[in-house]
Structure 1
Amino acid sequence: MTAATATTTELIELTAYGDAANFKLVARTLPPLAAGAVRVRQHVAGVNYVDVYQRIGRYPLPLPAVLGVEGSGVITAVGAGVDASRVGQRVAWSATNGSYAQLVDIAAERAVALPDKVSFEQGGAGLLRSMTAYLLLNHYGRLQPGQTVLVHAAAGGLGLVLTQWAKAMGARVIGTVSSDEKAALAHSRGLDQAINYREQDFVAAAREYTGGRGADIVVDGIGGAHFLRSIEATRSGGMAVTIGSISGEGAPAEALAAAQLRGVLMERPSILSFIKDLAQYRLATAAAMTRLEAGLVIDVAGRLPLAQVAEAHRLLEAGAAQGALLLEMN
């Protein structure tokens, strides 16, 4: 089946960099499908911190832009060269942007079939996080059974996935949290040791838990001076990974020297750059779907209609979401 006519969809456009108030719900006409593409009627779109970085212009896109790097739904039409039997297939997908929309056109090779056991919510809010876990713990970290991982923001959407992923690989997991409530949630997903960073020094606590050595892998999404402390919490010969900058600052200039002084490998991977390579995307999505089908839990902190995307961003930036945030389509 090939789409031959234009179709109208509601979507969210970012009209200017900065505040979430710059989002606007609009109706746009999609052109006929390109060859090799599929059209997906979305059920949900995931909201991730990378969306915030794009919104404020740290990761700029041409404006007006449709943000959102993952979603899930049903293929309703295919372009030339795509097997017509894919119409009706349940899929999830990830790309550099575009998921804040009821209908999306994406390359057919990036629409990943959802196993029967995996819901639209799991696929739409779990694909990118699961691929990130694969990137950090398998591809870069080469995590081994018995090793220790320190995960910051362990009760957040990514932290909960990283904890489960590392436990499935036979690792011990330490996680930082800001409250007893968040500690309980993280423990329910397998966390071995919670560190309330408002009451404890996480470097000292991590070293105590590891017999003075430090963690084998530390995953830091805070950035700035916090990453220097994460390096201190990493064992000699271990790996400190910075994957974001919630603090508003990237890894400081002195981070490399600090890592070298401790004999720590420092990595600054980008999941969106990683999955631009189709071969890597296929490996990562295969690993993600295997884990999701095996029972990896995607905790959903909130479900909002597409029109309330600004509120989703505010919740994310405030650190109020214990788990993933979803935009639901009409």
Structure 2
Amino acid sequence: MRAIVVSATGGPEVLDYVDDHPDPEVNPGEVLVDVAASGVNFIDIYHRMGRYPLSLPFIPGEEGAGTVVAVGEDVHDVAVGDTVAWASVPRSYASRVAVPASKLLPVPEGVAPEAAAAITLQGLTAHYLTHSTYEVKAGDDVLVHAAAGGMGLLLTQIAKLRGARVIGTVSTEEKETLARQAGADEVLRYRNFADAVRKLTGSGVHVVYDGVGAATFDESIASLRPRGMMALYGQASGPVPPVDPQILARNGSLFLTRPSLNAYIATRDELVWRASEIYGWVADGRIRVHISNRYPLAEAARAHSDLESRRTTGKVLLIP
């Protein structure tokens, strides 16, 4: 099979393309899938850099979709030929992936495999952030950073489905257009955004969804109303330095959380609930999947470089 292999951590150049890698073994409880597309996410960059260490060598990637070609022992309700997707499954930058059946998600009619690969991990994340970490309600003011990125576009659309007013931050006019097309009511640049948020809302927003990290953290805190929630779900600009909890008291008894997906899909029922809602919104047109870039698997290094440098909008896919 074709695969990307990382033998040493570092920059995008450590992503080596191998066209004769052995197929994965299919153990009991697993399913072998021919991959139609693999999603590229910042967690893959963190693994490549060694920020979240993995044993070397490894095949990066945690998300994809494709067609079942073999079913292992003790697997039920999955058949050869089914279209499936997954998230938080390692070794997904490959043309074939062995996926635990417990992690498989059936892709319904009306959702193309590429769309499923593009939305599963980020869609599950956007769902838990808006439904569980902070349950967005009609009339809430919500601040979404990187509103033209894959996560930002989904967070904006879901928050609008729930009746919120969405304030997005972006870096360019082109990205502002994308954020507004997704439903953002107001779009700001990153410079002094906290002052602008205060002028728009009076008392601040109910929740900040921040996947940027170090570069936006302080102003995100300053953008919250009393008892507001800071959901720091990523660190694209780097990790946030140690925080004095007193800043939460001084800014109005704020809440701060650093959530991660696995804690919110801890059971099969929770995983299927979130995915079913996301896929349903895609199938009926209430959420649009924006795929900005498709790269051949062999160009994974370019995909990482473009994502890190913010040359992409929406979702980035690798096609084996």
Please report the TM-score for the alignment, with normalisation by the length of structure 1. 0.92
Pick one of 126, 130, 140 that aligns with 2:123: 130
| Structure 1 residue 60: Cα displacement | 0.9
1:49-198 equivalent positions in 2, closer than 5 A: 49-83=42-76, 86-198=79-191
The 1:22/1:192 distance shift into structure 2, 3 A limit, reads: same
What stretches of structure 1 of length at least 5 have no aligned partner?
1-8
Amino acid at match of 2:282: L
Is 2:209 the counterpart of 1:219? yes
Which deviates more, 48-57 or 281-290? 281-290
> Once the 2 structures are TM-superposed, how far is the Cα of residue 304 of structure 1 from its aligned partner?
0.4
Look up the match of 1:307.
298
Say which is worse superposed, 282-291 or 188-197, in terms of deviation.
282-291
Mapped to 2, the partners of 1:223 and 1:32 lie a distance apart of 38
**8 Å Cα contact 1:10-1:25 kept in structure 2:** yes
SS of residue matched to 2:99: strand
Q: Which residue of 2 aligns with 1:253?
A: 242
Structure 1 residue identity aligned to 2:300? V
- Range with bigger deviation, 221-230 or 309-318: 221-230
Cα 1:305–1:209 shift into 2, 3 Å: same
Q: After alignment, is 118-127 or 216-225 more displaced? A: 216-225
**RMSD across aligned C-alpha pairs, in angstroms?**
1.6
Change beyond 3 A, Cα 1:257–1:224: farther
Amino acid at match of 2:7: T
Is the partner of 1:184 in helix, strand or coil?
A: helix
SS at 1:28 equivalent: coil
Q: 1:237 corresponds to which residue?
A: 227
Residue of structure 2 equivalent to 1:5: none
Aligned residues of 1:40 and 1:73 also touching (Cα < 8 A): yes
Q: Match for residue 291 of structure 1? A: 281
Q: 1:326 aligns with which of 314, 317, 320?
A: 317
Partner of 2:8: 16
Deviation, structure 1 residue 259: 2.0
Q: CA deviation at 1:155?
A: 0.6
SS at match of 2:22: strand
Task: Note the C-alpha offset of 1:30.
Answer: 2.8
Shift of 1:288: 2.1
> Structure 1 residues 13 and 290 mapped into 2: Cα distance closer, same or farther (>3 Å)?
same
Q: Indicate the SS of the match to 1:161.
A: helix
* 3-state secondary structure, aligned to 1:135: helix
AA in 1 matched with 2:10 = G
Distance in 2 (alpha carbons) for counterparts of 1:17 and 1:150: 34
Q: Is the partner of 2:245 in helix, strand or coil?
A: helix
Counterpart AA for 1:288? I
C-alpha contact (below 8 Å) 2:282/2:288 kept by paired residues: yes
CA distance in 1, matches of 2:169, 2:146: 6
Tell me the secondary structure at the aligned position of residue 190 of structure 1: coil
Unaligned runs of at least 5 residues, structure 2: none
CA drift at 1:320:
0.8
Q: Residue type of the partner of 1:66? A: I
Are the counterparts in 1 of residues 133 and 231 from structure 2 also a CA contact under 8 Å?
A: no
CA displacement at 1:255 relative to structure 2: 5.2
1:65 is paired with a residue whose SS is coil
Does the 8 A contact of 1:17 with 1:56 survive in 2?
yes
- The two structures have a TM-score, normalised by structure 2, of 0.95
SS of 1:291's equivalent in the other structure is helix
SS at match of 2:216: helix
Question: SS where residue 188 of structure 2 aligns?
Answer: strand
- Partner of 1:59: helix, strand, or coil? coil
Match of 1:281 in 2: 271
Q: C-alpha displacement at 1:56, in angstroms? A: 0.6
Equivalent residues of 1:256, 1:266 under 8 A apart: no
Tell me how far apart the structure 2 counterparts of residues 289 and 35 of structure 1 sit (CA, whole Å): 28
The whole-number CA distance in structure 2 between the counterparts of 1:247 and 1:29 is 36
**Secondary structure in structure 1 of the residue aligned to 2:153:** helix
Give the AA of the match of 1:227.
Answer: F
CA separation of 1:309 and 1:276: change in aligned 2, threshold 3 A: farther
- Number of equivalent positions: 317
Separation of aligned partners in 1, 2:301 and 2:263 = 26
Q: Offset at 1:260?
A: 2.8
8 A contact 1:44–1:328 mirrored in 2: yes
Assess, with a 3 A threshold, how the Cα gap between structure 1 residues 32 and 249 changes in structure 2: closer, same or farther. closer
Counterparts in 2 of 1:19 and 1:225: CA distance versus 1, 3 Å: closer
